[in-house]
Chain A
Amino acid sequence: MPDWLATLLISLLKAVLVVLGLLTTFAYMTLIERRLLGRMQLRPGPNRVGPMGLLQPAADAIKSIFKEDLTVTLADKLVYTLAPIIAIGMALTAFGGIPAGPARSLFGENPWVYNLDAGILALLALTSMGVYGIFLGGWASGSKYPMLGALRSSAQMISYELGMGLSILGLLMLVGTTSFQGIVGWQAQNGVLILFQALGFALFLISSFAETNRTPFDLPEAEQEIVAGYLTEYSAIKWALFQMAEYVNMITASAIMATLFFGGWKGPQFLNAVIPGMSDWPIVWLVAKIAFFLFLFIWVRGTLPRLRYDQLMRFGWKLLLPLALANTVVTAAFLAFRGSGGLWFLGVLSFAGLLALLIMSDRVRVLWNQPTVRRPESEAVRAGGD
Protein backbone atom coordinates (compact mmCIF):
# COMPACT_ATOMS: atom_id res chain seq x y z
CA MET A 1 0.00 0.00 0.00
CA PRO A 2 1.59 3.25 -1.04
CA ASP A 3 2.17 5.89 1.55
CA TRP A 4 -0.27 8.43 0.32
CA LEU A 5 -3.05 5.86 0.24
CA ALA A 6 -2.36 4.93 3.84
CA THR A 7 -2.46 8.56 4.87
CA LEU A 8 -5.62 9.04 2.95
CA LEU A 9 -7.30 6.02 4.49
CA ILE A 10 -6.27 7.00 7.99
CA SER A 11 -7.61 10.47 7.41
CA LEU A 12 -10.80 9.00 6.13
CA LEU A 13 -11.09 6.75 9.13
CA LYS A 14 -10.50 9.65 11.47
CA ALA A 15 -13.06 11.69 9.63
CA VAL A 16 -15.66 8.97 9.92
CA LEU A 17 -14.89 8.53 13.59
CA VAL A 18 -15.15 12.22 14.30
CA VAL A 19 -18.40 12.45 12.41
CA LEU A 20 -19.87 9.51 14.21
CA GLY A 21 -18.71 10.93 17.50
CA LEU A 22 -20.25 14.25 16.73
CA LEU A 23 -23.53 12.73 15.67
CA THR A 24 -23.72 10.66 18.79
CA THR A 25 -22.93 13.69 20.87
CA PHE A 26 -25.60 15.56 19.01
CA ALA A 27 -28.14 12.86 19.64
CA TYR A 28 -27.46 12.70 23.33
CA MET A 29 -27.03 16.39 23.55
CA THR A 30 -30.67 16.80 22.59
CA LEU A 31 -31.66 14.41 25.28
CA ILE A 32 -29.49 16.04 27.88
CA GLU A 33 -30.73 19.42 26.91
CA ARG A 34 -34.34 18.46 27.22
CA ARG A 35 -33.73 16.75 30.51
CA LEU A 36 -31.76 19.64 31.92
CA LEU A 37 -34.27 22.18 30.73
CA GLY A 38 -36.95 20.07 32.26
CA ARG A 39 -35.08 20.06 35.52
CA MET A 40 -34.64 23.81 35.38
CA GLN A 41 -38.29 24.30 34.65
CA LEU A 42 -39.36 21.80 37.30
CA ARG A 43 -40.67 19.14 34.94
CA PRO A 44 -39.28 15.73 34.06
CA GLY A 45 -38.44 16.02 30.36
CA PRO A 46 -38.42 12.94 28.09
CA ASN A 47 -38.22 9.82 30.21
CA ARG A 48 -40.30 7.17 28.47
CA VAL A 49 -38.15 5.64 25.79
CA GLY A 50 -35.65 3.42 27.48
CA PRO A 51 -34.33 3.90 30.99
CA MET A 52 -34.31 7.60 31.86
CA GLY A 53 -35.26 8.22 28.25
CA LEU A 54 -31.86 7.08 27.07
CA LEU A 55 -33.24 5.63 23.86
CA GLN A 56 -35.11 8.77 22.97
CA PRO A 57 -32.45 9.93 20.48
CA ALA A 58 -32.59 6.62 18.65
CA ALA A 59 -36.32 6.88 18.43
CA ASP A 60 -36.06 10.42 17.10
CA ALA A 61 -33.58 9.36 14.48
CA ILE A 62 -35.72 6.50 13.26
CA LYS A 63 -38.76 8.68 13.18
CA SER A 64 -37.13 11.44 11.16
CA ILE A 65 -35.87 9.02 8.57
CA PHE A 66 -39.18 7.30 8.10
CA LYS A 67 -41.32 10.41 8.12
CA GLU A 68 -42.71 11.78 4.91
CA ASP A 69 -40.32 14.25 3.37
CA LEU A 70 -42.40 17.11 2.08
CA THR A 71 -41.22 19.46 -0.61
CA VAL A 72 -43.63 22.35 -0.96
CA THR A 73 -44.78 23.14 -4.45
CA LEU A 74 -43.28 26.58 -4.66
CA ALA A 75 -39.85 25.48 -3.55
CA ASP A 76 -36.76 25.50 -5.69
CA LYS A 77 -36.28 21.73 -5.52
CA LEU A 78 -32.55 21.48 -5.96
CA VAL A 79 -31.59 24.23 -3.56
CA TYR A 80 -34.23 23.09 -1.14
CA THR A 81 -32.59 19.69 -0.94
CA LEU A 82 -29.06 21.00 -1.03
CA ALA A 83 -29.45 23.50 1.79
CA PRO A 84 -29.53 21.06 4.72
CA ILE A 85 -26.69 19.09 3.21
CA ILE A 86 -24.58 22.20 3.04
CA ALA A 87 -25.50 23.12 6.56
CA ILE A 88 -24.53 19.81 8.08
CA GLY A 89 -21.55 19.38 5.79
CA MET A 90 -19.97 22.64 6.82
CA ALA A 91 -20.77 22.12 10.45
CA LEU A 92 -19.15 18.72 10.53
CA THR A 93 -16.17 19.76 8.45
CA ALA A 94 -15.35 22.61 10.75
CA PHE A 95 -14.81 20.39 13.73
CA GLY A 96 -12.12 18.34 12.05
CA GLY A 97 -9.56 21.07 12.34
CA ILE A 98 -9.52 21.20 16.10
CA PRO A 99 -6.65 19.31 17.69
CA ALA A 100 -7.49 17.06 20.56
CA GLY A 101 -3.99 16.30 21.72
CA PRO A 102 -0.31 16.64 20.92
CA ALA A 103 1.01 15.35 17.64
CA ARG A 104 1.12 11.57 17.23
CA SER A 105 -0.50 11.01 20.58
CA LEU A 106 -3.37 8.90 19.32
CA PHE A 107 -1.95 5.44 18.51
CA GLY A 108 0.86 7.18 16.71
CA GLU A 109 -1.49 9.25 14.69
CA ASN A 110 -2.34 12.92 14.99
CA PRO A 111 -5.48 13.59 16.95
CA TRP A 112 -6.95 15.85 14.29
CA VAL A 113 -8.30 15.26 10.86
CA TYR A 114 -6.59 18.14 9.18
CA ASN A 115 -4.28 20.83 10.39
CA LEU A 116 -3.78 24.15 8.73
CA ASP A 117 -1.43 26.97 9.61
CA ALA A 118 -4.30 29.36 9.35
CA GLY A 119 -6.36 27.19 11.66
CA ILE A 120 -8.62 29.82 13.11
CA LEU A 121 -9.19 31.49 9.80
CA ALA A 122 -10.14 28.25 8.15
CA LEU A 123 -12.47 27.42 10.96
CA LEU A 124 -14.11 30.81 10.92
CA ALA A 125 -14.52 30.52 7.19
CA LEU A 126 -16.12 27.11 7.45
CA THR A 127 -18.49 28.06 10.19
CA SER A 128 -19.59 31.12 8.31
CA MET A 129 -20.35 28.90 5.36
CA GLY A 130 -23.14 27.55 7.53
CA VAL A 131 -25.10 30.68 6.84
CA TYR A 132 -25.48 29.53 3.24
CA GLY A 133 -27.33 26.45 4.38
CA ILE A 134 -29.76 28.48 6.42
CA PHE A 135 -30.26 31.24 3.92
CA LEU A 136 -30.61 28.97 0.93
CA GLY A 137 -32.99 26.76 2.88
CA GLY A 138 -35.19 29.68 3.76
CA TRP A 139 -35.07 31.16 0.32
CA ALA A 140 -35.65 27.93 -1.52
CA SER A 141 -38.78 27.18 0.50
CA GLY A 142 -40.55 29.82 -1.49
CA SER A 143 -42.65 30.85 1.40
CA LYS A 144 -43.03 33.92 3.50
CA TYR A 145 -41.91 32.85 6.95
CA PRO A 146 -38.91 30.82 5.92
CA MET A 147 -37.77 33.77 3.88
CA LEU A 148 -38.03 36.11 6.83
CA GLY A 149 -36.28 33.62 9.02
CA ALA A 150 -33.52 33.18 6.50
CA LEU A 151 -33.01 36.90 6.14
CA ARG A 152 -32.96 37.38 9.84
CA SER A 153 -30.56 34.58 10.42
CA SER A 154 -28.15 35.69 7.75
CA ALA A 155 -28.26 39.28 8.93
CA GLN A 156 -27.69 38.09 12.44
CA MET A 157 -24.94 35.71 11.62
CA ILE A 158 -22.98 38.08 9.50
CA SER A 159 -23.38 40.81 12.06
CA TYR A 160 -22.05 38.72 14.85
CA GLU A 161 -19.37 37.21 12.75
CA LEU A 162 -17.75 40.62 12.71
CA GLY A 163 -17.70 40.73 16.48
CA MET A 164 -16.40 37.21 16.55
CA GLY A 165 -13.64 37.90 14.10
CA LEU A 166 -12.56 41.11 15.76
CA SER A 167 -12.72 39.78 19.29
CA ILE A 168 -9.94 37.28 18.71
CA LEU A 169 -7.60 39.85 17.18
CA GLY A 170 -6.18 40.76 20.55
CA LEU A 171 -5.55 37.12 21.21
CA LEU A 172 -3.80 36.71 17.88
CA MET A 173 -1.59 39.68 18.60
CA LEU A 174 -0.50 38.10 21.85
CA VAL A 175 0.09 34.70 20.37
CA GLY A 176 1.39 35.66 16.97
CA THR A 177 0.11 32.58 15.17
CA THR A 178 -3.18 31.34 13.86
CA SER A 179 -2.51 27.63 14.18
CA PHE A 180 -4.34 25.90 16.98
CA GLN A 181 -1.29 23.99 18.03
CA GLY A 182 0.62 27.23 18.36
CA ILE A 183 -2.10 28.80 20.43
CA VAL A 184 -2.35 25.81 22.72
CA GLY A 185 1.41 25.74 23.08
CA TRP A 186 1.52 29.44 23.94
CA GLN A 187 -1.11 28.96 26.62
CA ALA A 188 0.81 26.07 28.12
CA GLN A 189 3.76 28.42 28.53
CA ASN A 190 2.15 31.70 29.50
CA GLY A 191 -1.11 30.70 31.09
CA VAL A 192 -4.54 30.35 29.59
CA LEU A 193 -5.66 33.26 27.50
CA ILE A 194 -8.85 33.90 29.40
CA LEU A 195 -6.62 35.56 31.95
CA PHE A 196 -5.39 38.16 29.49
CA GLN A 197 -8.33 38.43 27.18
CA ALA A 198 -11.32 38.32 29.47
CA LEU A 199 -13.09 40.99 27.49
CA GLY A 200 -12.25 39.31 24.22
CA PHE A 201 -13.57 36.07 25.55
CA ALA A 202 -16.81 37.62 26.70
CA LEU A 203 -17.34 39.08 23.25
CA PHE A 204 -16.42 35.82 21.60
CA LEU A 205 -18.79 33.91 23.82
CA ILE A 206 -21.68 36.17 23.01
CA SER A 207 -20.90 36.02 19.31
CA SER A 208 -20.74 32.27 19.48
CA PHE A 209 -24.20 32.13 20.92
CA ALA A 210 -25.45 34.30 18.13
CA GLU A 211 -23.58 32.39 15.48
CA THR A 212 -25.13 29.13 16.56
CA ASN A 213 -28.60 30.66 16.74
CA ARG A 214 -28.94 29.79 20.37
CA THR A 215 -30.98 31.55 22.99
CA PRO A 216 -31.01 34.46 23.57
CA PHE A 217 -30.25 34.91 19.91
CA ASP A 218 -32.48 32.26 18.40
CA LEU A 219 -34.40 34.77 16.35
CA PRO A 220 -34.32 32.86 13.06
CA GLU A 221 -36.64 30.24 14.47
CA ALA A 222 -38.64 32.42 16.80
CA GLU A 223 -41.91 30.55 16.70
CA GLN A 224 -43.91 33.39 18.15
CA GLU A 225 -43.17 35.71 15.26
CA ILE A 226 -42.27 33.70 12.23
CA VAL A 227 -43.54 30.19 12.95
CA ALA A 228 -40.26 28.33 12.79
CA GLY A 229 -38.21 30.61 10.62
CA TYR A 230 -36.23 28.97 7.92
CA LEU A 231 -37.33 25.57 9.16
CA THR A 232 -41.01 26.15 8.59
CA GLU A 233 -41.33 24.14 5.42
CA TYR A 234 -38.84 21.47 6.33
CA SER A 235 -39.78 18.11 7.65
CA ALA A 236 -38.35 14.67 8.29
CA ILE A 237 -34.66 14.14 7.70
CA LYS A 238 -33.95 17.53 6.22
CA TRP A 239 -35.31 19.15 9.29
CA ALA A 240 -33.25 16.80 11.37
CA LEU A 241 -30.16 17.70 9.39
CA PHE A 242 -30.63 21.36 10.19
CA GLN A 243 -31.05 20.52 13.86
CA MET A 244 -27.95 18.41 13.65
CA ALA A 245 -26.04 21.24 12.10
CA GLU A 246 -27.07 23.58 14.86
CA TYR A 247 -25.91 21.27 17.57
CA VAL A 248 -22.70 20.37 15.79
CA ASN A 249 -22.01 24.04 15.46
CA MET A 250 -22.52 24.37 19.16
CA ILE A 251 -20.02 21.65 19.79
CA THR A 252 -17.57 23.26 17.42
CA ALA A 253 -18.01 26.64 19.04
CA SER A 254 -17.42 25.08 22.43
CA ALA A 255 -14.31 23.41 21.13
CA ILE A 256 -13.02 26.66 19.67
CA MET A 257 -13.61 28.56 22.87
CA ALA A 258 -11.93 25.82 24.83
CA THR A 259 -8.97 25.84 22.51
CA LEU A 260 -8.56 29.56 22.19
CA PHE A 261 -9.17 30.70 25.72
CA PHE A 262 -8.92 27.70 28.01
CA GLY A 263 -5.77 25.92 27.01
CA GLY A 264 -7.28 23.58 24.46
CA TRP A 265 -6.44 19.93 24.76
CA LYS A 266 -3.91 20.57 27.52
CA GLY A 267 -4.94 20.09 31.06
CA PRO A 268 -3.77 22.35 33.86
CA GLN A 269 0.02 22.23 34.10
CA PHE A 270 0.17 21.62 37.82
CA LEU A 271 -1.47 18.26 37.31
CA ASN A 272 1.75 17.06 35.78
CA ALA A 273 3.09 16.98 39.27
CA VAL A 274 0.45 14.44 40.23
CA ILE A 275 0.68 12.17 37.23
CA PRO A 276 3.49 13.08 34.85
CA GLY A 277 2.19 13.88 31.40
CA MET A 278 -1.37 14.05 32.61
CA SER A 279 -1.97 17.43 31.08
CA ASP A 280 -0.95 16.05 27.71
CA TRP A 281 -3.53 13.32 27.57
CA PRO A 282 -5.33 13.56 24.30
CA ILE A 283 -9.05 14.07 23.94
CA VAL A 284 -9.88 13.92 27.62
CA TRP A 285 -9.29 17.53 28.50
CA LEU A 286 -10.84 18.83 25.36
CA VAL A 287 -13.98 16.78 25.84
CA ALA A 288 -14.26 17.93 29.39
CA LYS A 289 -14.01 21.56 28.36
CA ILE A 290 -16.47 21.08 25.54
CA ALA A 291 -18.89 19.51 27.93
CA PHE A 292 -18.63 22.51 30.18
CA PHE A 293 -19.44 24.90 27.39
CA LEU A 294 -22.28 22.78 26.17
CA PHE A 295 -23.71 22.92 29.60
CA LEU A 296 -23.31 26.66 29.51
CA PHE A 297 -25.29 26.78 26.30
CA ILE A 298 -28.14 24.87 27.88
CA TRP A 299 -27.94 26.83 31.05
CA VAL A 300 -28.23 30.11 29.24
CA ARG A 301 -31.15 28.79 27.25
CA GLY A 302 -32.87 27.99 30.46
CA THR A 303 -32.12 31.39 31.92
CA LEU A 304 -32.30 34.23 29.43
CA PRO A 305 -35.27 35.43 27.43
CA ARG A 306 -34.96 35.97 23.71
CA LEU A 307 -33.96 39.39 22.37
CA ARG A 308 -36.17 41.36 20.10
CA TYR A 309 -34.84 41.45 16.57
CA ASP A 310 -33.93 45.13 16.47
CA GLN A 311 -32.24 44.79 19.83
CA LEU A 312 -30.26 41.91 18.53
CA MET A 313 -28.94 43.84 15.56
CA ARG A 314 -28.18 46.93 17.55
CA PHE A 315 -26.42 44.87 20.14
CA GLY A 316 -24.19 43.35 17.53
CA TRP A 317 -23.37 46.51 15.65
CA LYS A 318 -23.37 49.13 18.34
CA LEU A 319 -21.88 47.30 21.24
CA LEU A 320 -20.06 44.21 20.14
CA LEU A 321 -18.25 45.68 17.19
CA PRO A 322 -16.82 48.78 18.88
CA LEU A 323 -15.94 46.82 21.98
CA ALA A 324 -14.10 44.26 19.95
CA LEU A 325 -12.21 47.03 18.20
CA ALA A 326 -11.46 48.64 21.53
CA ASN A 327 -10.19 45.34 22.85
CA THR A 328 -7.91 45.07 19.85
CA VAL A 329 -6.58 48.56 20.25
CA VAL A 330 -5.99 48.14 23.96
CA THR A 331 -4.06 44.96 23.38
CA ALA A 332 -2.13 46.56 20.57
CA ALA A 333 -1.28 49.57 22.67
CA PHE A 334 -0.28 47.37 25.57
CA LEU A 335 2.02 45.30 23.42
CA ALA A 336 3.54 48.37 21.86
CA PHE A 337 4.25 50.19 25.09
CA ARG A 338 4.67 47.47 27.67
CA GLY A 339 8.43 47.67 27.61
CA SER A 340 9.69 44.61 29.48
CA GLY A 341 6.74 44.29 31.80
CA GLY A 342 4.79 41.05 32.10
CA LEU A 343 1.41 40.24 30.68
CA TRP A 344 -0.42 40.43 33.97
CA PHE A 345 -1.22 44.09 33.48
CA LEU A 346 -3.08 43.33 30.30
CA GLY A 347 -5.11 40.76 32.19
CA VAL A 348 -5.99 43.33 34.80
CA LEU A 349 -6.92 45.82 32.12
CA SER A 350 -9.10 43.34 30.39
CA PHE A 351 -10.89 42.27 33.52
CA ALA A 352 -11.30 45.85 34.53
CA GLY A 353 -12.88 46.58 31.20
CA LEU A 354 -15.26 43.71 31.54
CA LEU A 355 -16.13 44.69 35.09
CA ALA A 356 -16.67 48.28 34.08
CA LEU A 357 -19.03 47.13 31.38
CA LEU A 358 -20.95 45.03 33.83
CA ILE A 359 -21.19 47.87 36.30
CA MET A 360 -22.29 50.27 33.65
CA SER A 361 -24.56 47.74 32.07
CA ASP A 362 -27.65 49.78 32.80
CA ARG A 363 -26.20 52.71 30.99
CA VAL A 364 -24.79 50.69 28.16
CA ARG A 365 -28.10 48.96 27.67
CA VAL A 366 -29.75 51.99 26.11
CA LEU A 367 -27.34 51.65 23.24
CA TRP A 368 -29.11 48.60 22.00
CA ASN A 369 -32.28 48.23 23.98
CA GLN A 370 -34.46 50.90 22.48
CA PRO A 371 -34.55 52.28 18.97
CA THR A 372 -33.28 55.83 18.94
CA VAL A 373 -35.58 56.91 16.15
CA ARG A 374 -38.55 55.58 14.34
CA ARG A 375 -37.70 55.65 10.69
CA PRO A 376 -40.45 56.37 8.28
CA GLU A 377 -40.57 53.77 5.53
CA SER A 378 -39.80 56.22 2.76
CA GLU A 379 -36.53 57.19 4.33
CA ALA A 380 -35.59 53.59 4.76
CA VAL A 381 -36.06 53.03 1.07
CA ARG A 382 -34.03 56.09 0.22
CA ALA A 383 -31.20 54.98 2.44
CA GLY A 384 -31.07 51.86 0.38
CA GLY A 385 -30.89 53.91 -2.72
CA ASP A 386 -27.72 55.73 -2.06
Chain B
Amino acid sequence: MLLVALGIGIVAVIASALLGPKKGSRAKLMAYESGNDPEHGGVGTGQRFPVHFYLVAMLFIIFDIETAFFYPLAVAYQKLIPFAFFEAITFVVLLLVGYVYVLKKKVLEWA
Protein backbone atom coordinates (compact mmCIF):
# COMPACT_ATOMS: atom_id res chain seq x y z
CA MET B 1 0.00 0.00 0.00
CA LEU B 2 2.73 2.36 1.06
CA LEU B 3 4.66 1.56 -2.08
CA VAL B 4 1.70 2.16 -4.31
CA ALA B 5 0.82 5.35 -2.55
CA LEU B 6 4.32 6.76 -2.72
CA GLY B 7 4.55 5.48 -6.28
CA ILE B 8 1.59 7.58 -7.33
CA GLY B 9 3.26 10.68 -5.95
CA ILE B 10 6.58 9.95 -7.56
CA VAL B 11 5.06 9.13 -10.93
CA ALA B 12 3.03 12.30 -10.87
CA VAL B 13 6.03 14.43 -10.06
CA ILE B 14 8.13 12.82 -12.74
CA ALA B 15 5.40 13.09 -15.30
CA SER B 16 4.99 16.73 -14.61
CA ALA B 17 8.70 17.30 -14.74
CA LEU B 18 8.80 15.66 -18.15
CA LEU B 19 5.73 17.24 -19.57
CA GLY B 20 5.67 20.68 -18.08
CA PRO B 21 7.39 23.64 -19.70
CA LYS B 22 10.55 25.00 -18.15
CA LYS B 23 10.79 28.69 -18.61
CA GLY B 24 12.06 30.04 -15.36
CA SER B 25 12.88 33.67 -14.97
CA ARG B 26 14.41 35.40 -12.01
CA ALA B 27 11.18 36.96 -10.95
CA LYS B 28 9.35 33.71 -11.23
CA LEU B 29 11.86 31.82 -9.16
CA MET B 30 12.04 34.42 -6.44
CA ALA B 31 10.56 33.67 -3.04
CA TYR B 32 7.12 35.16 -2.73
CA GLU B 33 7.05 38.51 -1.05
CA SER B 34 4.07 40.28 -2.57
CA GLY B 35 6.07 41.15 -5.61
CA ASN B 36 8.87 42.91 -3.75
CA ASP B 37 12.41 41.67 -3.68
CA PRO B 38 12.78 39.43 -0.63
CA GLU B 39 14.43 41.14 2.31
CA HIS B 40 18.14 40.46 2.52
CA GLY B 41 17.86 38.39 -0.62
CA GLY B 42 15.46 35.96 1.01
CA VAL B 43 15.48 33.95 4.16
CA GLY B 44 16.33 30.54 2.79
CA THR B 45 15.93 27.43 4.88
CA GLY B 46 17.99 28.64 7.81
CA GLN B 47 15.22 30.70 9.34
CA ARG B 48 14.47 30.75 13.02
CA PHE B 49 11.09 30.15 14.49
CA PRO B 50 9.40 31.93 17.33
CA VAL B 51 10.25 30.11 20.50
CA HIS B 52 6.64 29.42 21.19
CA PHE B 53 6.55 26.77 18.55
CA TYR B 54 9.29 24.88 20.32
CA LEU B 55 7.25 24.96 23.46
CA VAL B 56 4.24 23.57 21.71
CA ALA B 57 6.35 20.91 20.10
CA MET B 58 7.81 19.86 23.44
CA LEU B 59 4.44 19.87 25.12
CA PHE B 60 3.12 17.77 22.31
CA ILE B 61 5.90 15.24 22.64
CA ILE B 62 5.28 14.88 26.34
CA PHE B 63 1.52 14.73 26.18
CA ASP B 64 1.52 12.48 23.17
CA ILE B 65 3.72 9.99 24.93
CA GLU B 66 1.38 10.11 27.89
CA THR B 67 -1.43 9.33 25.53
CA ALA B 68 0.55 6.45 24.20
CA PHE B 69 0.71 5.09 27.71
CA PHE B 70 -3.01 5.32 27.95
CA TYR B 71 -3.76 3.16 24.94
CA PRO B 72 -2.62 -0.17 26.37
CA LEU B 73 -4.37 0.66 29.60
CA ALA B 74 -7.55 1.51 27.77
CA VAL B 75 -7.49 -1.69 25.78
CA ALA B 76 -6.91 -3.83 28.84
CA TYR B 77 -9.05 -1.64 31.03
CA GLN B 78 -12.07 -3.83 31.60
CA LYS B 79 -9.94 -6.80 32.52
CA LEU B 80 -8.10 -4.92 35.22
CA ILE B 81 -10.88 -3.15 37.10
CA PRO B 82 -10.59 -1.74 39.72
CA PHE B 83 -6.79 -1.64 39.67
CA ALA B 84 -6.78 0.03 36.30
CA PHE B 85 -9.21 2.67 37.44
CA PHE B 86 -6.94 3.88 40.20
CA GLU B 87 -4.00 3.67 37.88
CA ALA B 88 -5.87 5.78 35.38
CA ILE B 89 -6.88 8.31 37.99
CA THR B 90 -3.36 8.58 39.34
CA PHE B 91 -2.06 8.99 35.85
CA VAL B 92 -4.59 11.63 34.94
CA VAL B 93 -3.97 13.52 38.15
CA LEU B 94 -0.26 13.62 37.48
CA LEU B 95 -0.96 14.68 33.94
CA LEU B 96 -3.19 17.41 35.27
CA VAL B 97 -0.44 18.65 37.56
CA GLY B 98 1.73 19.20 34.52
CA TYR B 99 -1.19 20.65 32.61
CA VAL B 100 -2.06 23.13 35.32
CA TYR B 101 1.55 24.12 35.60
CA VAL B 102 1.74 24.77 31.89
CA LEU B 103 -1.54 26.62 32.02
CA LYS B 104 -0.42 28.84 34.85
CA LYS B 105 2.88 29.49 33.12
CA LYS B 106 0.75 30.88 30.29
CA VAL B 107 2.43 28.72 27.73
CA LEU B 108 -0.95 28.04 26.21
CA GLU B 109 -1.54 31.68 25.50
CA TRP B 110 -1.13 33.01 22.06
CA ALA B 111 -1.11 36.75 21.95
Contacts and interface: CB of A to CB of B under 8 A. Distances in A.
Q: Within 8 Å by CB, do A and B touch in the complex?
A: yes
Interface of A: 11-12, 15-16, 18-19, 23, 64-76, 81, 84-93, 96, 113-114, 121, 139-147, 151, 154-155, 158-159, 161-162, 165-166, 169-170, 172-173, 176-178, 227, 232-233, 236-238, 240-241, 309-310, 313-314, 317-318, 321-322, 325, 328-329, 332-333, 335-336, 371-375, 380-381, 383-385
Contact of B77 (A69, A85, A176, A372): A176
Interface in B15-39: 15-17, 19-24, 28-34, 38
Contact of B13 (A68, A165, A227, A238): A238
Interface string B42-63: 1111010111111111011001
Given A158-B56, A233-B31, A172 B9 contact: no
Contact of A65 (B19, B28, B60, B82): B19
B108 A317 contact: yes
Given A325-B92, A383-B55, 6 more contacts: A15-B3, A89-B8, A333-B85, A371-B110, A372-B106, A384-B55
Contacts of B22: 68
Contacts, number: 240
Contact of A371 (B4, B17, B38, B111): B111
Nearest to A332: B88
9 contacts: A70-B28, A88-B5, A143-B38, A233-B31, A237-B15, A240-B12, A321-B63, A321-B99, A332-B88
A332 B85 contact: yes
A371 B10 CA distance: 44
Contact of A328 (B15, B79, B92, B111): B92
B70 A84 contact: no
A74 B31 contact: yes
Contact of B45 (A142, A236, A313): A142
Please provide the 7 A-B residue pairs with the shortest distance between their CB atoms, ordered closest to farther. A384-B51, A310-B110, A92-B5, A237-B16, A143-B31, A85-B9, A336-B85
B85 A161 contact: no
Contacts of B111: 310, 371, 373-375
Contacts of B71: 121, 169, 172, 178
A19 B4 contact: yes
B96 A325 contact: yes
B76 interface: yes
Contact of A166 (B8, B67, B77): B67
A307 B3 CA distance: 37
Question: Chain A CB within 10 Å — which of B16, B81, B89 has the most?
Answer: B16
Given A318-B108, A373-B109, A374-B111, A74 B13 contact: no
A36 B95 CA distance: 44
A169 to B, nearest CB: 5
